[in-house]
A and B are shown apart, each in its own frame.
Chain A
Amino acid sequence: GAVVSQHPSWVICKSGTSVKIECRSLDFQATTMFWYRQFPKQSLMLMATSNEGSKATYEQGVEKDKFLINHASLTLSTLTVTSAHPEDSSFYICSANLAGGPYNEQFFGPGTRLTVL
């Protein structure tokens, strides 16, 4: 099946720094990718939809200036957490749609655990 990778798998940073997380579709092209955030014992919360070659669409309540999304190619989307603070510590998960046909199956990356000190 289609594979989505994320890098890094975990990162620890100091408060105030920026962190970039990469999401790659390894064996398929994805015109649309999604970014989720998950806090401990909670469900995944959709943050934004990343569209190749255009601006991302953010869900209500998600700060677009804090969570910068770039989808520069059909296989790569990046999420940059700017000026990270401890409350941004979370598990970030991306996903990509396998386009084609009447049903676009969605594949998820393994997640990136961000810890902000």
Chain B
Amino acid sequence: DAKTTQPNSMESNEEEPVHLPCNHSTISGTDYIHWYRQLPSQGPEYVIHGLTSNVNNRMASLAIAEDRKSSTLILHRATLRDAAVYYCILRDVNTGGFKTIFGAGTRLFVKA
């Protein structure tokens, strides 16, 4: 599986936008970029995914670089409830079982 690299932690102020970067320089053409987040003592929660084009949903936006070697998860207005570990993951849909391998993720701290 192609690897992703994320900063260990980031800090944001409440009500401000947050840009969480992810590098995936060895991404293949069949890899989808996924973002999950894990709140304390809970299972991971799906946030967003994309292949080539930027994506928006009610939770966040995903900006994908033109060469697909990096992406950025954008939380438009951080709230205290957004404090979590955010995982950027590549999933190759051609891989049998579609298992998800987690990296270290980015721990987001949100200050009131």
Binds B, one of A13-21, A65-73, A80-88, A105-113: A105-113
Q: Is A75 an interface residue (CB 8 A)?
A: no
Interchain CB contact under 8 A, A108 and B32 = no
B107 to chain A, nearest CB (A): 9
CB within 8 A of A49: which of B97, B102, B104? Answer: B97
Q: Which residues of B contact A36 (CB under 8 A)?
A: 102
Q: Which residues of A contact B98 (CB under 8 A)?
A: 32, 97, 104, 106
CB within 8 A of A93: which of B32, B44, B101? Answer: B44
13 A-B contact pairs sorted by A residue (CB < 8 Å)? A1-B46, A43-B102, A43-B104, A43-B105, A44-B102, A46-B99, A46-B100, A57-B97, A103-B49, A106-B46, A106-B98, A108-B36, A111-B42
Q: A103-B93, A109-B43 are in contact. Are A34 and B32 (CB under 8 A)?
A: no
Q: How many A-B residue contacts, CB cutoff 8 Å?
A: 58
Interchain CB contact under 8 A, B42 and A103 = no
Q: Which residues of B contact A51 (CB under 8 A)?
A: 97
Q: Which residues of B contact A95 (CB under 8 A)?
A: 43-44, 100
Q: Which residues of A contact B38 (CB under 8 A)?
A: 44
A100 to chain B, nearest CB (A): 12
Q: Which residue of B lies closest to A49 (CB)?
A: B97
Question: Which residue numbers of A lie inside 8 Å of B, CB to CB?
Answer: 1, 4, 6, 32, 34, 36, 43-46, 49, 51, 57, 91, 93, 95, 97, 102-111, 113
Interchain CB contact under 8 A, A108 and B93 = no
B47 to chain A, nearest CB (A): 12
Interchain CB contact under 8 A, A108 and B104 = no
Q: Is B103 an interface residue (CB 8 A)?
A: yes
Q: Which residues of A contact B104 (CB under 8 A)?
A: 43
How many angstroms from the CA of A44 to the CA of B93 in the assembled complex? 20
How many angstroms from the CA of A91 to the CA of B85 in the assembled complex? 15
Q: Is B11 an interface residue (CB 8 A)?
A: no
How many angstroms from the CA of A103 to the CA of B96 in the assembled complex? 12
How many angstroms from the CA of A22 to the CA of B18 in the assembled complex? 37
Interchain CB contact under 8 A, B93 and A111 = no
